[in-house]
A and B are shown apart, each in its own frame.
Chain A
Amino acid sequence: MSSASPERALAAPWLEEIRRLAGSLDREVRLMEVCGTHTVSIRRAGLRSLLPENVRLLSGPGCPVCVTPAGYIDLALSLLDQPDLVLATFGDMLKVPGASGSSLSSRMGTGRLRILYSPAELPALARAGARPVVFLGVGFETTAPTVAAAFLQAAREGIRNLYLFTAFKTVPPALRALLADPESRLDGFLLPGHVSAVLGLEPYRFLEEPGGLPGAVTGFEPLDLIEGILALLRQIAAGTHRVENSYPRVVRPGGNPRAREVLAELLEPEDALWRGLGSIPGSGLRLRPPYRALDASARFGLPPVWNSEPSGCGCARVLLGRLEPEACPLFGRGCTPESPIGPCMVSSEGSCAAAFRYGEVRA
């Protein structure tokens, strides 16, 4: 391997060991990442083409926008029927079609939709007027503490017109669901880097129990991903299944206790509906009783969310690793990032969008 950089020089022996281990296994090895940023990094770096033929990287339900049921978008749109209500959201929710086919982007220019870079903007947005402001809480354990910090700050300031419409999800219960799914046939998990920065390693320990799978907390640079893949292959070859930390420069074994404390002050687990996976016990986050008055669903009388897939859209199966994005009949034929049909093509972290932007051919 010619080495134009220290990164390549360091990666070369790791890739060589991956090839050797994969060769010794003599079967297909299916590794799943459960993190949208991993999805993009793997595709952007062209990592799949560097791996042996029998090592398959699958993207799981790690894109927060993608796992949000279509009905949530319809309910968010229905909130705009409330007079004067302002909807605040991260920008990646804008183009996701609801079950009705409409998306939030159809309401741009009405002055009622605010795109935020950070939840830290929420208290000032709510303070700016008496109008109710509803934040669309979509994300995993990395995002939820930041939103909790903003809502707790608003509560301390006595702000009473800020509401949360929660669709937060938590990763470990989804891993449990994938582990129990006989069709997934997985051999290991590349565990999410920034979710794990908050959680630490303990919430994944169930992977070490009988029937579990190897897990490696992995960073986002190409080298980090190669290191994580190697860690998993070493475990698979040795017939073990442990939770390893391959990203120690960011992830502490105990995670970030302060972030979890802030999250747990505002939010508590509840059952939640995922696109693709259905309802998973304890995999969502709702407002704790002292903060229920901030719940947009209760305040504005919203019904429960529901799943609905656009006709022909394979997103739900893509999220489970059952369908490669390129194998979906709509991929690139009617469904593109410019004109997406399902959320996996909408979000920049979606498997289909990443596959479309960084399309690669196996060597």
Chain B
Amino acid sequence: MRVERLLPEGKALVRQDGLETVVDISLVEHAQPGDHLIIHAGYAIEVLDSAEAEERLKLLDEAGARDKRPDSA
């Protein structure tokens, strides 16, 4: 879930798949708009590490591209 906006009292407005909801971010006080949060029972418990997430996406892109080559096994 992506943080849209920080709200008072340790809350944030988050969005996923076009739906908006409010979650408690008092356990991840450094969360900022644009961060992706890991949510458990209405509380953010961690902020996704964007560099690590992009590393995985890069691996997927490379694997997908490799697989599309006509000579791929």
Of the candidates A90, A149, A251, which one forms a contact with B27 in the assembled complex, judged by CB atoms under 8 Å apart? A149
Contacts of B52 in A (CB 8 A): 248-249
Alpha-carbon distance A262/B26, docked complex (angstroms): 9
Contacts of B26 in A (CB 8 A): 149, 262
Beta-carbon contact of B48 and A146 below 8 Å: no
Beta-carbon contact of A6 and B60 below 8 Å: yes
Contacts of A258 in B (CB 8 A): 27-29
Beta-carbon contact of B42 and A256 below 8 Å: no
Contacts of B53 in A (CB 8 A): 249
Beta-carbon contact of A146 and B27 below 8 Å: yes
Beta-carbon contact of A262 and B27 below 8 Å: yes
Alpha-carbon distance A251/B63, docked complex (angstroms): 24
The A contact surface, by secondary structure, is: helix
Q: Which range holds the interface residue count of chain B?
A: 20 to 34
Of the candidates B24, B38, B49, B67, which one forms a contact with A120 in the assembled complex, judged by CB atoms under 8 Å apart? B24
Closest Cβ–Cβ distance, residue A253 to chain B (whole Å): 11
Q: With A248-B52, A250-B49, A258-B27 in contact, is A5–B64 under 8 Å at CB?
A: yes
Q: With A10-B60, A149-B24, A256-B27 in contact, is A197–B49 under 8 Å at CB?
A: no
Residue A118 lies at the interface, judged by CB distance under 8 Å to chain B: yes
Which residue in chain A gives the minimum CB-CB distance to B67?
Answer: A9
Residue A143 lies at the interface, judged by CB distance under 8 Å to chain B: yes
Nearest first, the 5 closest Cβ-Cβ pairs linking A and B are A118-B42, A6-B64, A249-B52, A9-B67, A10-B63
What are 15 inter-chain pairs, A to B, with CB distance below 8 A?
A6-B63, A119-B41, A119-B43, A120-B24, A145-B45, A146-B41, A149-B43, A248-B49, A249-B53, A252-B46, A256-B27, A258-B29, A259-B28, A259-B45, A262-B27
Known: A119-B41, A252-B49. 6 other contacts (CB 8 A): A9-B60, A9-B67, A119-B42, A197-B46, A198-B46, A250-B38
